[in-house]
């Protein structure tokens, strides 16, 4: 029997406590949480106690963890502005890296990440969890039958608290609304809508027009993002995201093709996760009977993402989300910001 992968966590905050930890508990035969690093002692205690991590393997400095702990892979779940530095340090330490999105805050940072990963020959991937929900996985099996795509849409609207101060009861709200920490609507939440609709379209984005602005909230990053994208195959998609609009009919993506359409609902009841349209049958809700109950209830897709990623690491096969996908997503975001400033369409080089 193969020994479990030795996992170190860089960042043990809310997303780890709420979603990642649940995924790790489901794959204990494959993964063992061996060491932790977080600047907040309470986070170390919560996750450390949950996974019985020895006190000596709980670090407040991730560099000390990389230097002293016996690890095969690390996950990085920290503010966006720290990702590049931490990925590079982990790659230099010779361990595989699973990073929360985005891979970096700029393409310049992303280039330094890819150079370090290639130089050290370590596996590297970014969490694109919503393409691992049961609804999205089922949708991907329908794409061939529907033919060439021509139009897609996605939306993720919601109201963030008016108070983004550092002493907010949920500290993540503060850094997500900070330009210095790489926050903002488009890179924090619309990021998911971008890769989700692009997955359904099956064609990379080549041109982006957009308005990424701060309209209502008293923050130094964007609270609304509206994108119009042209794909390599000539198809068009729109992406709508906001922190200043009630989230009515929100959290979905859809594609329209020559033989029909698909609509995937994220963050919704699994009973309405996937609908398909054809001229013969109209809109129909599709059953997800091929997925077990746990997979259907995995509304964020994290459990399946981590399961497939760790299985690939154990088998030394290709990771399910290649770095190039994360780089392309960041390129779309950077192009959208540039399009807003320059009031023109921005071309993205082929991935």
Which tops the pLDDT comparison, 85 or 172? 85
The dihedral region occupied by 260, where left means phi > 0, alpha psi between -120 and 50, and beta the remainder, is left
CA dist 97 and 117 (Å) reads 9
Residue range 5-126, CATH number: 3.40.50.720
How do 124-126 and 96-99 pair as beta strands?
parallel
Q: What is the pTM of this model?
A: 0.95
Q: Which two tokens stand for residue 46?
A: 């919560």
Q: Report the mean per-residue pLDDT for the chain.
A: 93
**pLDDT-derived band at 160, boundaries 50, 70, 90:** confident
- What is the structure's pLDDT at 161? 79
Q: What is the pLDDT of residue 165?
A: 55
- The predicted model gives 272-280 an average pLDDT of 93
Is-contact 276 261, C-beta < 8 A? yes
List, by residue range, all CATH 3.40.50.720 domains of the chain.
5-126
Q: Is residue 170 predicted with pLDDT exceeding 70?
A: no
**What is the DSSP code string of 166-235?**
TTSSSTHHHHHT-TTTT--HHHHTHHHHHHHHHHHHTS-EEEEEEEEE--SSSSSS-SEEEEEEEETTS-
Taken as a whole, the chain contains a residue count of: 351
Chain segment 132-152, per-residue pLDDT in tens = 999 999 999 999 999 999 999
Instruction: Name the nearest CA neighbour of 143 among 236, 252, 277, 261.
Output: 261
Range 131-300+319-347 classified under CATH 3.40.50.12780:
no
- pLDDT tens digit string along 100-136? 999 999 999 999 999 999 999 999 999 999 999 999 9
Asked if residue 3 has pLDDT above 90, the reply is no
Q: Note the pLDDT tens digit of each residue in 194-250.
A: 999 999 999 999 999 999 999 999 899 999 999 999 999 999 999 999 999 987 778
Average pLDDT on 43-59 reads 97
- For the chain, give every residue range classified as CATH 3.30.360.10: 131-300+319-347
């Amino acid at each position: 029997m193969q020994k479990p992968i030795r996992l170190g966590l860089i960042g043990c905050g809310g997303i780890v406590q709420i979603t990642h930890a649940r995924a790790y508990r489901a794959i204990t035969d494959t993964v063992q949480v061996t060491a932790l690093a977080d600047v907040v002692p309470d986070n170390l205690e919560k996750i450390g106690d949950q996974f019985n991590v020895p006190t000596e393997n709980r670090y407040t400095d991730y560099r000390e963890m990389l230097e002293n702990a016996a690890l095969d892979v690390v996950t990085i779940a920290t503010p966006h502005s720290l990702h590049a530095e931490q990925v590079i340090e982990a790659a230099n330490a010779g361990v595989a890296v699973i990073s929360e999105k985005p891979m970096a805050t700029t393409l310049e940072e992303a280039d330094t990440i890819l150079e370090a990963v290639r130089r050290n020959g370590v596996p590297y991937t970014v969490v694109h969890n919503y393409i691992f929900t049961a609804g999205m996985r089922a949708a991907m099996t329908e794409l061939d039958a529907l033919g060439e795509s021509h139009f897609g849409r996605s939306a993720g609207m919601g109201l963030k608290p008016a108070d983004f101060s550092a002493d907010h009861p949920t500290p993540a709200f503060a850094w997500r609304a900070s330009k210095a920490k790489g926050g903002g609507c488009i890179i924090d939440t619309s990021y998911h809508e971008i890769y989700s609709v692009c997955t359904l379209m099956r064609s990379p984005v080549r041109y982006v027009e957009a308005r990424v602005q701060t309209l209502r909230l008293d923050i130094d990053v964007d609270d609304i993002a509206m994108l119009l994208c042209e794909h390599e195959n000539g198809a068009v998609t729109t992406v709508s995201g906001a922190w200043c609009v009630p989230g009515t009919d929100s959290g979905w993506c859809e594609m329209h093709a020559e033989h029909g359409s698909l609509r995937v609902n994220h963050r919704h009841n699994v009973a309405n996760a996937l609908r398909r349209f054809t001229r013969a049958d109209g809109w129909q809700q599709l059953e997800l009977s091929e997925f077990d109950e746990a997979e259907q209830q995995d509304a964020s897709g994290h459990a399946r993402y981590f399961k497939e990623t760790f299985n690939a690491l154990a088998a030394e096969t290709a990771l399910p989300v290649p770095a190039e996908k994360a780089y392309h997503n960041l390129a779309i975001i950077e192009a959208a910001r540039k399009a807003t400033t320059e009031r023109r369409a921005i071309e993205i080089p082929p991935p």
